[in-house]
Amino acid sequence: MRTSARAEWDPLTDVMIHRPGIEMFFGLLEPYSFLYERAFSMDAAIYEHTTLEHALTEAGVRVHRLKRGAVQGAQDHPELVRRVRRSAVDLVKFEAPPDLLPRVRRAFRENVERLDPETLFNIFLLRPRVRLSEHPGERMILPRVELEVPLANLLYLRDQQALGPNGFILGNMSKPQRRGEPLLTGSILTWMGAKILGHVKPPGTFEGGDFLPAGEFALLGLGDRTNAEGVRQILRLDLGYPEVAVVHQPSHPLIPGDERDPMVNMHLDTYFNLAGDGIAVGLVPLLERARVDVYRRSSRGYQRTGTPTTLAKFLKEKEFSVVPLTTLEQLSYASNFLCLKDRKILAVDAERTSKPVLEGIARAARADPHRYGALYRQARKDLKLLQSEGSFFPHKPELYAEKVETIPLDLHELTGSYGGAHCMTCALNRTPRG
């Protein structure tokens, strides 16, 4: 299939999603360690995910499910399945008494040939470890199964890779909880016939939420999730853009410099996004603090040029108008919308999401007023203003003035796992206009 994206506002024709399942249950047992923002109702979250899929389908986008892609790919590419089976043998760990262990490992190597694609998918998803202990009696072998960090964040299919005009860049996740994801998604994209432009390798890290294609240039975030080595590796690729703007993750002005929290704007798309050709959306104080280094393509690859600027100034030079967000809207995933085509977005209903978000900031401020007190006070002010004006994102006069059509989605439970509609979707193809 064709896999290309020149600009974030080109019409989205194909997208891949992952409906969360049992792996989310394990994430909810200890949300903080699994990188979730808060606890939430799994049943309601899965329902909200179905509404996301329905909205995409109603908008004319072909939706591909990750697991279905795995099953179909296994049917079409038996040679790749053999590689997956070998990886599964390495992935599943066994612990047993010395007289049992060789037999157990040998049996699994033999049995893996009989496992169906969905079972293999679940092995990569849940990453099991089997501990066996013997007891007196016939077949009195007690199995205990542990899971080596289930991929509880897999629903965020934006992050394992990024798509540009020349194909996919496969990432390397910054957090150890997520490092098993690109192997799974990259294999399935290969099975689907996607073009793979390159793969960021350790010690480089790169996550797709830090990449936004913008026609004649691309924006590439540098910070907590995408490091300098990851940026260097990406800039050695033939990205297909004359210019790349490397955006340094800014610290939040309402959080003291000695207590910065990169999670409040962990990816570029958590405080900035593109709603159309020449239309940006973002939290202006962060855009004004985000340093930008501009790289231009040459015969020797991308070379840094000029002096550093800010994201706000860079956008002005590119003649982009900016729809401003409040602090509360930014924290409520307002910028994490999905652009379906020029001036049409599928967005989180920030008003519904703001309630649990504000409750979370209040708890953080009570526990650490020095770090989060100012952030909480500003969010409270924003709530009163937005409620009095009835202007919660995406119901903003500035969007209406730009003739941006919006499809609001209630994702207030699902965003508890730390992301919105943009993070939850892997764009497979965008068809340029004309």
- Provide the pLDDT for residue 145: 96
Q: Residue 11 pLDDT > 70, yes or no? A: yes
Query: Around Cβ 164, how many Cβ atoms within 10 Å?
Result: 23
- Provide the pLDDT for residue 139: 64
Question: Which tens digits make up the pLDDT trace of 315-334?
Answer: 999 999 999 999 999 999 99
State both tokens at 385: 């203003």
Q: Residue 29 pLDDT > 90, yes or no? A: yes
- Provide the pLDDT for residue 257: 82
Q: Residue 434 pLDDT > 70, yes or no? A: no
> Burial of 354 by CB count in 10 Å (0-12 exposed, 13-18 middle, 19+ buried)?
buried
Q: Residue 310 pLDDT > 90, yes or no? A: yes
Cα–Cα distance measured from residue 302 to residue 239, given in angstroms and rounded to the nearest whole number: 10
Cα–Cα distance measured from residue 269 to residue 275, given in angstroms and rounded to the nearest whole number: 12
Question: Which tens digits make up the pLDDT trace of 87-137?
Answer: 999 999 999 999 999 999 999 999 999 999 899 999 999 999 999 998 877
Question: Which tens digits make up the pLDDT trace of 166-224?
Answer: 999 999 999 999 999 999 999 899 888 899 999 999 999 999 999 999 999 999 999 99
What is the arithmetic mean of pLDDT over 63-74? 89
The residues of the chain that CATH labels 3.75.10.10 are 12-70+151-430
Question: Which tens digits make up the pLDDT trace of 273-298?
Answer: 999 999 999 999 999 999 999 999 99
| CATH number of 12-70+151-430, picked from 3.75.10.10, 3.30.830.10, 3.40.50.11890, 3.20.20.80 | 3.75.10.10
CB 218 within 8 A of CB 164: yes
